[in-house]
Amino acid sequence: MQHVQRLFPVAAIYQVVPVGDDVVDRTAVVAERNAAVHTARTLLFSLGIAQMRDEFLIMLQTLLDRRVTFTDAIKFHESGWLTHDEHP
37 within domain boundaries? yes
Domain extent at residue 45: 20-78
Closest CA to 87 of 32, 26, 13: 13
- Quick check: is 4 in a domain? no
Q: Is residue 1 part of a domain?
A: no
The answer to whether position 5 is within a domain reads: no
pLDDT (tens place) for every residue of the chain, 88 residues total: 566 666 655 665 666 666 655 555 555 555 555 555 545 545 545 454 455 555 666 666 555 656 556 666 666 666 665 555 555 5
Residue 85: inside a domain, yes or no?
no
Residue 3 lies in a domain: no
Estimate to the nearest angstrom the gap between the alpha carbon of 87 and the chain centroid: 27
Q: How far apart (Å, rounded) are the C-alpha atoms in residues 9 and 11?
A: 6
Number of domains in the chain: 1
Give residues with Cβ within 8 angstroms of 68, minimum separation 6: 62
Residue 2 lies in a domain: no
pTM: 0.14
